[in-house]
Amino acid sequence: MAEKVRVTFKQVFVKDSADWFGSGEFYFDAKVDGQKVGDRQIFDARQGKWISLPADKWSQEVDVTGKTAVDVIFNGKDEDLFFDEDLGTIKYTLRPPWQQNTHTHHTEYFDLEWSVELQVHGAYGMHPPNEVFACRALPGNADCTTVSGVPIVARVEVHPVRPVPNRVPPRGLVAPLDAVENKAGVMAKPTDPPNIIPNPAVIPILTPPGVSPAVGCPPVADASNAARIEVTFYRPSSLQLDDKPHELEWSARSLSGGAAVNFLGPAKGTKIMVYGTATGEIALDVRFRGMLMATYRALVMKVKSIPCRVNILNGPSASSQPRSRPEDVVDHLTIANRYLRQAGIELVLDANSHTSDGAQPTTIPGIFRIHVPAGMTMGFNPDRANLPATRLNYRPNVMNFAYVHSDRDLDLGAASDYPNSKIPAAPGDRPTVTDSGTPSSSWIRPSGVLPDTPAVSVNMLLLGGKQRAGHPKLFSMFVSDTCGDPTVLASQQKYANTIAHELGHILNLGHRVEGPHPTIPGQLVAHGSFFDGLKHPPRQNLMHWIASETEAQDLDILQALAIHQSPLVP
Amino acid sequence: MTPAIKQILRSLVDDARSDEASRNAAVVRRLQTPDVLDTLDTAEEYLNAGRFRLRVAQVTEALARNPAPTAIEAFLALTTSDVFLAHDQRVLALIRSSVFIRPAPDALVSFWHARSQPEDAFTPTTINVLITNGSAPAISLFERKMADRSHDDDSKTGWLRSDVLVHRNDLLLLQACGRLLPDKLSEYLQRELVDVLFDYRPIEWYPPSASFSPPPLAIASREALDQLIKNAIVALTMVELSDQQRGVVRARMQEATELRER
């Protein structure tokens, strides 16, 4: 963008009229950057008085882009009968960093007051001192100056992981960062809208507002279902980008598959909303003063509904019955769906009323109660073969949840049955998903986020299937009372996080970061059998082996790609 | 925790740790008093026993860890107390604490036996305690349970994969497995036991949420290595194995032989 300044000669104070009698007849000759400014108007110069110079004639705009100096020359003369008297010349050289200022310079006969204004967003004037005037690109950052001539390095990030991990790629900045950060996670509530978690891996395809969706088409885009994309870091704080939405401008470009999105509301500011109109992979670029500052990469696809049924397994006594009621289960699933929406999926209660194994319908379709022996819902061994609890009342290709009292190991829940992914793998090998996009999934390094080095292909290992004989279409897990009081929000979030995490396994996701082997140094739990092979983010991914719901919330592009290859996802 | 509850808990744990018979007996008396039990852990805390350990479990563990004969007597008295056993969570606390009582007295074996019946809510915990306790009476009861056809084979695979695997260097357990292998198990369980003693297949055996790891063979005692080799011979000669299983057994037998000769 062109950088422009405006020099204005404002007024002249007459110290000495240079005439013996009465007032003088002053005129001025001025140049700015070699261009003549003003005209040959004669001003009545009275000693001790000001001469105002008309701004429309005594201003000059200069494009200073690339310039290293701008000369300002102002000469005064007193017109006389025989020869004009020279009142003196003021010479000044403006140099970068350009800065707004009002100057006063003197000759023997007059004082000159003149100003330099810098153009910001097409407007001249005296701007707030921290206003940015000009920027030049640095790798990943912008080398800017304010209208006061103060140099700053500006940076904007849109991190795909929420909560944002502390370990981020190199920023090329020196301390102090003086940054504004928006890095917290989301503790979702059942009443929160489906899109409450920002910066999802999947931007959902929705029907544009004003268009009536046909049967089977996605719902109309609105503030509750469009993807929220948020700037997670900017510096310096003096940019005040949260209060100046016009400073950040977003645009979209397809990376593959003809992906297309629309912005819901203005495509400006630190927080925007966007929805998809065509599948593929999209880049959302955010610019500051026309300079590309950050790119957010996402998949664009329809939100797929996974049918599920829930069986609450009641033992014979109060001490062997889970506390969750059908309405609590609905709350847990609702919160779980907030996590899952990041990957473009949602759980929907099964509308089919067929039952087996003595299941009794409840008032909420898709949720059942079953009376079972104590050992099937309390204190059971989750590692036994053919776990009975999770098979009860299942329907093929419908996710089957067993709400139980507890298992022996006091697990919060566990996936028990999950067929292979549709991604093929050689015998003995685990399937893998590869992503080569920039920025990398979860900003795994090298991230391609400047000044970090370019991203490379990242491979993620999937879990092979785990199935019992005779039930090839059984997808199941149990959720236990160990999650806590099912009616209390904090515990509901634990139920939901457990459901979403274990469902991740059922959709063939491994652990993002795996625990250490209990006795062999350097080895992983189960010799890494459930590890997805990646160690980033350190704790913020939903599939972290042990982190709780306050941290483990994110699903990334690699995981979204894998999830949509599960036979459970339509 | 209120100061009053803290005071009760502290006095109970102190008495449980004492080597004075009267103080151990006082623990039993107080833990059979509903008011004390209800004060120690509220109804809400019983509901959350899966997340937060009951306070009464600290008392039973203190008794079980106390080698004084009177402390063990006190512990065993609780195993027959209707008041104490009235809540499943207290039963579980008692079973878990009993892991520290070695060797297990007959009364404890009876308690364990009663709390390892098909379809009850205690068996997996009891089996875990038997194997972790590791004393001869405990392992003997485990052996009986493995041979007991009233427990289904699927449940027993759970015991093998989560409990036996973790202790597969233990001599007494290896000896029991050696007795079970030839003819006390179904063919399915014979092969499962061979797998657990000689192989390790976590992705097939465990859900991702809970994995168990075997101890390194290198730390097994010489006697355990000898027994493992004997079990390998039994497995290779008396159990119907796949070629792959035979290969795994031979490889581990070879490893054990090399370790033994060091």
pLDDT, tens only, A419-459: 999 999 998 899 999 999 999 999 999 999 999 999 999 99
Strand A360-361 to strand A345-349: parallel, antiparallel, or no bridges (unpaired)?
Answer: unpaired
At A233, give phi and psi (nearest 5°). -160, 135
Least confidently predicted of A413-417, A514-518, A552-556, B97-101: A514-518
Question: A410: which chain B residues are within 8 Å (Cβ-Cβ)?
Answer: 50-51
Least confidently predicted of A95-99, A167-171, B160-164, B206-210: B206-210
List Cα–Cα distances, A136 to A147, A248, B109, in angstroms: 15, 16, 80
Least confidently predicted of A5-19, A198-212, A527-541, A547-561: A5-19
E strand or H helix at A72: strand A70-78
B144 to chain A, minimum CA–CA distance in Å?
A: 19
Question: A378: which chain B residues are within 8 Å (Cβ-Cβ)?
Answer: 88, 121
Question: B209: which chain A residues are within 8 Å (Cβ-Cβ)?
Answer: 382, 411-415, 502, 505
More confident of the two residues B127 and A214: B127
Question: B46: which chain A residues are within 8 Å (Cβ-Cβ)?
Answer: 319
Closest to B130 in 3D by CA, of B159, B91, B155 = B159
- Are B213 and B238 contacting, i.e. CB atoms less than 8 angstroms apart? no
Question: What angle is formed at CA A403 by the lines to CA A399 and CA A404, rounded to 5 degrees?
Answer: 135
A324 to chain B, minimum CA–CA distance in Å?
A: 12
* A450-482: b (≥16 Cβ within 10 Å) or e: bebeebeebebbbbbbbbbeeeeebbbbbbbbb
β-strand partners of A550: none
B128 to chain A, minimum CA–CA distance in Å?
A: 9
- The whole-number pLDDT of residue B249 equals 98
Q: How many CB atoms lie within 10 A of CB A296?
A: 25
The answer to whether the Cα torsion of A517, A523, A528, A533 is positive or negative is: positive
List Cα–Cα distances, A325 to A189, A332, B197, in angstroms: 17, 11, 43
B178-229 tens-digit pLDDT: 999 999 999 999 999 999 999 999 988 998 887 789 999 999 999 999 999 9
Closest to A11 in 3D by CA, of A113, A149, A102 = A113
A352-373 tens-digit pLDDT: 999 999 999 999 999 999 999 9
> Does residue A56 surpass a pLDDT of 70?
yes
> Does residue A68 surpass a pLDDT of 90?
yes
List the structure tokens of A164.
Answer: 């944002």
Give the residue from chain A lying closest to B159, CA to CA. A384
A295-315 tens-digit pLDDT: 999 999 999 999 999 999 999
pLDDT band at A519 (very low <50, low <70, confident <90, very high): confident
Read off the pLDDT of each residue in A546-570 and give the average, rounded to a whole number. Answer: 97
At A449, give phi and psi (nearest 5°). -90, 105
Cβ-nearest to B209 among A502, A518, A527: A502
Taking the C-alpha atoms of residue B65 and residue B16, their distance in angstroms, rounded to an integer, is: 9
What is the widest separation between alpha-carbon atoms in chain B?
65
- The whole-number pLDDT of residue A325 equals 98
Mutate to test the interface with A, among B44, B122, B189, B209 (most CBs of A within 10 A): B209
β-strand partners of A202: A299
Between the two ends of chain B, the Cα-to-Cα distance in Å is: 55
Taking the C-alpha atoms of residue B214 and residue A385, their distance in angstroms, rounded to an integer, is: 19
Read off the pLDDT of each residue in A514-528 and give the average, rounded to a whole number. Answer: 85
**Backbone torsion region of residue A213, taken as left when φ is above 0, otherwise alpha when ψ lies between -120 and 50, otherwise beta:** beta
- The whole-number pLDDT of residue A19 equals 66
Residues of chain B with pLDDT under 70: none
B162 to chain A, minimum CA–CA distance in Å?
A: 7
Mutate to test the interface with B, among A313, A314, A319 (most CBs of B within 10 A): A319
CB spacing of A385 vs B157 below 8 angstroms? yes
Amino acid letter, residue A91: K
| Residue linked to tokens 């950050």 | A294
Taking the C-alpha atoms of residue B88 and residue A135, their distance in angstroms, rounded to an integer, is: 70
Predicted TM-score (pTM) of this structure: 0.92
- The whole-number pLDDT of residue A516 equals 87
Question: A518: which chain B residues are within 8 Å (Cβ-Cβ)?
Answer: 213
List the structure tokens of A223.
Answer: 């503030």
- The whole-number pLDDT of residue A21 equals 62
Closest to A391 in 3D by CA, of A498, A477, A501 = A477
B142 to chain A, minimum CA–CA distance in Å?
A: 16
Give the residue from chain A lying closest to B201, CA to CA. A526
- The whole-number pLDDT of residue B262 equals 81
Question: A405: which chain B residues are within 8 Å (Cβ-Cβ)?
Answer: 121
Taking the C-alpha atoms of residue B198 and residue B250, their distance in angstroms, rounded to an integer, is: 9
β-strand partners of A100: none
At B112, give phi and psi (nearest 5°). -60, -45
User: For chain A, what is the mean pLDDT?
Assistant: 95
CB spacing of A505 vs B203 below 8 angstroms? no
Residue A93 buriedness (CB in 10 A; 0-12 / 13-18 / 19+): exposed
- Are B128 and B162 contacting, i.e. CB atoms less than 8 angstroms apart? yes
